[in-house]
């Protein structure tokens, strides 16, 4: 039952998600743990909606950026076997909560390791940790000169620590321009993992691959992969898709993208109006009618992630036809030219992202119009909009 109070809504296609998961699991191998990355509100898809759908499709491991996302995922989960892993921000004051709920978290500095030990001792329960190693990205990661101190702390407090993983993250695995840097990181990570093993630190899982590295550098597929953008039906970039097709000619022969977009964004026509030739539409004088035109108003604007830079550039779908934006994109609404689209009525469906008839507005095309990446467009879709599984 749709909530009619909202001006637009998001639909998530479960069948498309199942296809993506099947393809990705076949690719990475059945013995590799699939961790669904749901940071950024599940890349705009909505954590509280996406997690139950993913669990219904058999996913039991989720990666988040921060503790607030972990809490949201935990509340959305209905399976006792589901595990949540925090890759980024968790304050020392929240570590006790993570330990109590058996949520694992990355360690990339000794201060956090000390805090984990302190809270685990106090609670009498082991902290589940992943040592995030600095291999050359120079953002987050435990520096090599800190390894010996970390090992000493791990050995002295082994009763209170479970080393779930050794991990790292690559600096732009989607681009061939970073090839040399990525290969050096892979080399460093292999060396560091061997060193920790020699020191007696046996991690349950070795993991380093995100979507881009798993698809471009198959040797980074280890015990677990952290798949974000690909599970939602998007390639990290065009280059990654082309590289994959070169290595897997069958995909090219079938002329069918194995990844299916699961998100659609829909609204309705709010009002229609006839505007004579030679009149301006909306604020200012950015759009002048060149003939007698029909204009439709749609209750979507830049407050919803449909940016002002789509003024006179953006396109939506109405009645299976492309309707160009006509005039300034406002905070809460936009106007589109429907002159050449017959029989448009108040209440007709408007597709901002997704398919309608034979036409489709992809996130990629939406991104290109805004000069953004897929990631940016997705995460800017308001979290307040209702999501529905279809």
**Chain length of the chain:** 390
Residues 336 and 323: beta-carbon distance below 8 Å = yes
Name which of 162, 298, 169 is nearest 226 in CA terms: 169
Is 75 marked within a binding site?
A: no
Q: What is the DSSP string of 246-283?
A: HH-HHHHHHT--S----EEEEEE--EEEEE-TT-B-SS
Is 39 annotated as catalytic?
A: yes
37's CB contacts (< 8 A; 6+ apart) are: 43, 62, 63, 64, 210, 226, 227, 228, 231
Question: What does the angle CA 220 – CA 224 – CA 228 come to, to the nearest 5 degrees?
Answer: 85
Cα separation, 83 vs 61, whole angstroms? 5
Do 29 and 226 contact (CB within 8 A), yes or no? no
CB atoms within 10 A of CB 1: 4
**Strand (E) or helix (H) holding 181:** helix 179-198
Q: Are residues 251 and 189 in contact, defined by beta-carbon separation less than 8 angstroms?
A: no
The pairing of strands 205-209 and 161-167 is parallel
- What tokens were used for 57? 């499709």
- Residue 219 phi, psi dihedral angles, 5° rounding: -70, -10
- 222 belongs to an annotated ligand binding site: no
Set 39, 72, 266, 268: catalytic member: 39
Select which of 179, 246, 283, 346 is catalytic.
283
Residues annotated as catalytic (active site), given as ranges: 39, 283
Residues of the binding site: 139, 331
Residues of the binding site for substrate: 139, 331
């Amino acid at each position: 039952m749709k909530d009619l109070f909202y001006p637009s809504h998001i639909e998530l296609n479960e069948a498309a998600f199942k296809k993506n998961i099947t393809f990705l699991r076949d690719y990475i191998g059945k013995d590799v743990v699939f961790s669904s990355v749901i940071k950024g509100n599940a890349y705009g898809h909505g954590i509280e909606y996406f997690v139950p759908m993913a669990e219904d499709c058999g996913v039991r491991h989720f990666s988040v950026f921060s503790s607030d996302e972990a809490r949201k995922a935990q509340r959305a989960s209905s399976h006792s076997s589901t595990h949540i892993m925090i890759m980024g921000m968790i304050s020392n004051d929240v570590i006790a909560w993570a330990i109590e709920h058996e949520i694992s978290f990355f360690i990339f500095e000794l201060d956090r390791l000390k805090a984990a030990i302190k809270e685990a001792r106090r609670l009498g329960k082991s902290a589940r940790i992943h040592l995030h190693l600095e291999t050359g990205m120079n953002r987050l990661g435990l520096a090599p000169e800190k390894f010996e101190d970390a090992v000493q702390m791990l050995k002295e407090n082994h009763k209170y620590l479970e080393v779930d993983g050794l991990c790292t993250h690559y600096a732009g695995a989607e681009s061939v321009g970073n090839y040399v840097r990525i290969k050096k990181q892979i080399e460093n990570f292999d060396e560091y993992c061997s060193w920790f093993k020699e020191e007696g630190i046996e991690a349950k899982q070795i993991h380093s691959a995100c979507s881009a590295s798993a698809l471009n550098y198959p040797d980074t597929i280890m015990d677990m992969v952290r798949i974000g953008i690909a599970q939602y039906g998007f390639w990290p970039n065009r280059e990654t898709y082309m590289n994959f097709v070169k290595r897997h000619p069958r995909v090219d022969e079938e002329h069918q993208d194995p990844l299916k977009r699961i998100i659609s964004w829909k609204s309705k026509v709010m009002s229609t109006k006839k505007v004579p030739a030679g009149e301006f539409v909306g604020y200012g004088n950015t759009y002048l009618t060149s003939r007698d035109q029909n204009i439709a108003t749609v209750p979507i604007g830049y407050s919803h992630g449909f940016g002002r830079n789509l003024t006179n550039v953006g396109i939506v779908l109405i009645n299976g036809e492309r309707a160009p934006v006509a005039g300034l994109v406002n905070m809460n609404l936009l106007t589109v030219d429907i002159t050449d689209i017959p029989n448009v009525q108040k209440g007709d469906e408007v597709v901002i992202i997704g398919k309608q008839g034979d036409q489709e507005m992809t996130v990629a095309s939406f991104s290109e119009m805004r000069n953004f990446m897929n990631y940016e467009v997705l995460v800017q879709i308001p979290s307040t909009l209702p999501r529905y599984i279809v």
